[in-house]
Amino acid sequence: MPEKRESNDIERYITLRQCILRTLYEIFKEFPYAPVELSQIQEECHTNTKDLNWNIVYLEKCGYIELSKSFPCPPFIASSAVITAKGIDLVENESEFNRRFSFIKSSDPQQSSDYS
């Protein structure tokens, strides 16, 4: 039973990362120099603060987004985010985007998925 729960969580996190990148991409197309407040991303992606915070930091570590941490803004980890050129390229390359953010269900617990 715990394996199923973990599997559902991972799928939810991958879907959240897709939503974050797509949201930032769409806003970038309208307002290229405008940073996006994390509260707006949270609302667009229908998520909680805890999940948004750690998934957005993950995307920053991957180089897909940049976070503005110029001042504290609890409960969020940063005040705003922008998509990077690397993030734009990923979203615009649909096959790579889907490969990078896909969820492969496996009945073999020893089998690992490559999400990089």
The pLDDT score that the predictor gives to residue 105 is 54
Coil, helix or strand for 66? strand
pTM of the model: 0.82
**Each residue's pLDDT tens digit, 25-50:** 999 999 999 999 999 999 999 999 99
Kindly state the average pLDDT of the residues 19-26. Answer: 98
Coil, helix or strand for 54? helix
Q: How far apart are CA 57 and CA 26, in angstroms?
A: 20
**Each residue's pLDDT tens digit, 70-106:** 888 899 999 999 999 999 999 999 999 999 988 665 4
- For the chain, give every domain's residue range: 2-100
Q: Are 104 and 113 in contact (CB under 8 A)?
A: yes
* CATH no. for 2-100: 1.10.10.10
